[in-house]
Amino acid sequence: PTAVPTTFNATGYLVGRHVDAGDGARTAVVSNTRTLTYAELDEEVRRVAAGLRELGVRSEERVLMCMVDEIELFTAILGAMYLGAVAVPCSTMLTGGELGKLIADSRTRVVLGSVEFADTVRAAVEQAPDVETVVLTDEWERLRGAGLAERPYATWEDSPALWLYTSGTTGMPKAAMHRHTDIRFVAENYGQRVLGIAPHDRCLSVAKLFFAYGIGNSMFFPLSVGAAALLEAARPTPQLVAARAMTEHATLLFGTPSFWGPLLAADVPRDAFATVRQGVSAGEALPARMLEGMREQFGVEVLDGIGSTEMLHIFISNRPGQARPSSSGIPVPGYEVEIRDELGAVIDTDGTPGELYVRGDSAAVGYWCRAETSRKVFLGEWTRTGDTYVRNSDGTYTCLGRFNDMIKAGGIWVTPSEVEDRLLEHPDVAEAVVVAVPDSDELDKPVACVVPMPGRHVDEGDLIQWCREELAAFKRPRAVVELAELPKTATGKIRRNVLRDLVRS
Ligand code: 3SK
């Protein structure tokens, strides 16, 4: 017999449940401008949900957001899910052209934007014919004036809740579609069973809410146990994060290697993180010197882990008190991992590298309107990560890099072909290939290898600026190498691995 689906709404689980349990007076979220208790958050979410309904948003319909980490974004995500609609928080680092492609792809009719990004949002919606309504934060009362939605929409556990755009080796970013139940799964398995998050915790994340890593850290984990989320709207410089951690008594600090590196070199008081009971790192493999530096300089143990947008959050992690250098740790409860060869056969010997596959119930149901790519990544219960990993003899796993040509710079995916296409638009460029080159901490940075047009030379600064004009800044090449020709196979395919070695040496 077919089981009757169970109703479950992630916003009810994250917010209303605490009010119903008598914990409405606890602090739920502290932003740069306001603090909301769980009761106040519940009311605000229900206001936004009613406002979205008034704008015509129906269940399962997308609501796309390009917003800073503030109460408005927090309540918009929760309000959309409350209504049974799908929250689509998007990167605030994109240009208008880049954002416009996501809006058009998602077929969103209602777009929400922070007033800081008014120009980007305006430029973006010009490219997206389905958009009917744009609400910016300076007209937020429009959303708040429709009363209060009465109860969370009776979504199923499997109903769509959240789409997160992620980049691929080629072409456009694609939306990984997550269900309401995925949110509970990551909160209970990683947040609670690995981090031991509890109601007294105060979570501060360097990654913003539009990242899978950020939304788990700053929303799903704290709200799942009645703890407090600390939101920071500005760019997370070491000084800013240290000051925020001190004034707000952060107990859990979530960062990335591209934050820990500058933090260790910055002039920050040694007691800045005195209240932090645990640091967490993801995005890129944590260099051993940063693990040690954080312990020695600030007395903070940083747990490295690996997650993905497709799995919603971290699925291999070190454990508190047992952080091991140069290792992502062991699988998080609820997940299994395998290392497989190019043909998909399981490699069961320690020390032999292969591609990491993961199985766990937070896997996205697929990519929106990308059936072919979805079939290559979501293989039944298993999901391909695209990362090369090795199992160590003590059962821990170590990241060795990518299985394909993708580049992760500062913890964010960069699609080489997107940067190459832009470089090829430059009149001096005949051929262009972008590869990952590690810096002194072994953290990858995009480097452009360029063959100039006959009789021409390329200027590094000019080409980097050329990329910045049309692409988000994090995608820009950090260096340009001029070459007379590109190494190719007999069939004319570019030998990226040869190029990588050439540029590294
Ligand atoms: O990059 C990661 O390791 C990660 C961690 C948590 C959630 C999402 C991602 C991509």
Least confident of 29-43, 198-212, 394-408: 394-408
In angstroms, rounded to a whole number, what is the distance separating the alpha carbons of residues 206 and 302?
14
Pocket test for ligand 1, best of 208, 210, 306, 312 (most atoms within 8 A of CB): 306
**Band of pLDDT at residue 258, cut at 50, 70 and 90:** confident
311 C-alpha to center of ligand 1: Å? 8
170 C-beta neighbours (distance < 10 Å), count: 15
Show the ligand 1 pocket: residues with CB < 6 angstroms.
212-213, 282-283, 306-309, 313-314, 411
CA of 213 to the centre of ligand 1 (A): 5
Mean pLDDT along residues 127-138: 97
For ligand 1, mutation pick of 313, 383, 397 (most atoms within 8 Å of CB): 313
CB of 89 closer than 8 Å to CB of 77 = yes
Assess whether pLDDT exceeds 70 at residue 144: yes
* Atom 9 of ligand 1, residue of closest alpha carbon: 308
Helix (H, G, I), strand (E, B) or coil at 17: helix
Share of the chain above pLDDT 70, in %: 99
* DSSP assigned state of 475: G
CA 401 to chain centre: 18
Which one, of 233, 222, 262, lies nearest residue 410 by Cα? 262
State residue 16's pLDDT score.
Answer: 98
**How far, in Å, from the CA of 500 to the mean position of ligand 1?**
25
> Is there a contact between 219 and 209 (Cβ–Cβ < 8 Å)?
yes
Strands 354-360 and 335-340: antiparallel
- Closest ligand 1 atom to Cα of 283: 1
Residue whose Cα lies nearest atom 10 of ligand 1: it is: 308
Is the pLDDT score of 161 beyond 80?
yes
**Amino acid (1-letter code) at residue 183:** I
Atom of ligand 1 lying closest to residue 166 CA: 10
CA of 55 to the centre of ligand 1 (A): 33
Range of lowest pLDDT (117-121, 166-170, 469-473, 494-498): 166-170
Q: Give the pLDDT confidence of 36-45 residue by residue, as tens digits.
A: 999 999 999 9
Structure confidence at residue 204 (pLDDT) = 98
- Predicted local confidence at residue 168, as pLDDT: 67
Cα–Cα distance for residue pair 483/487, rounded to 1 Å: 10
Beta bridge pairs of residue 62: 86
Please tell me the distance between residue 429's alpha carbon and the centre of ligand 1 in angstroms: 35
Q: Cα 227–197–281 angle (5° rounding)?
A: 110
Whole-angstrom distance, CA of residue 92 vs CA of residue 106: 17
Whole-number Å distance, alpha carbon 411 to ligand 1 midpoint, is 8
Q: Which residue's CA is the closest to the ligand 1 atom numbered 4?
A: 307
What are the start-end ranges of the H helices in 165-211? 180-186
| Size (the chain), residues | 505
Which stretch of DSSP H or E encloses residue 295? helix 288-298
Tell the residue nearest (CA) to atom 5 of ligand 1: 307
Q: Does 403 have pLDDT greater than 80? A: no
Contacts by residues 149-153 (CB-CB < 8 Å, ≥ 24 positions apart): 149/46, 149/47, 149/49, 149/50, 149/53, 149/79, 149/82, 149/83, 150/46, 151/12, 152/9, 152/11, 152/12, 152/16, 152/82, 152/84, 153/9, 153/59, 153/82, 153/83, 153/84
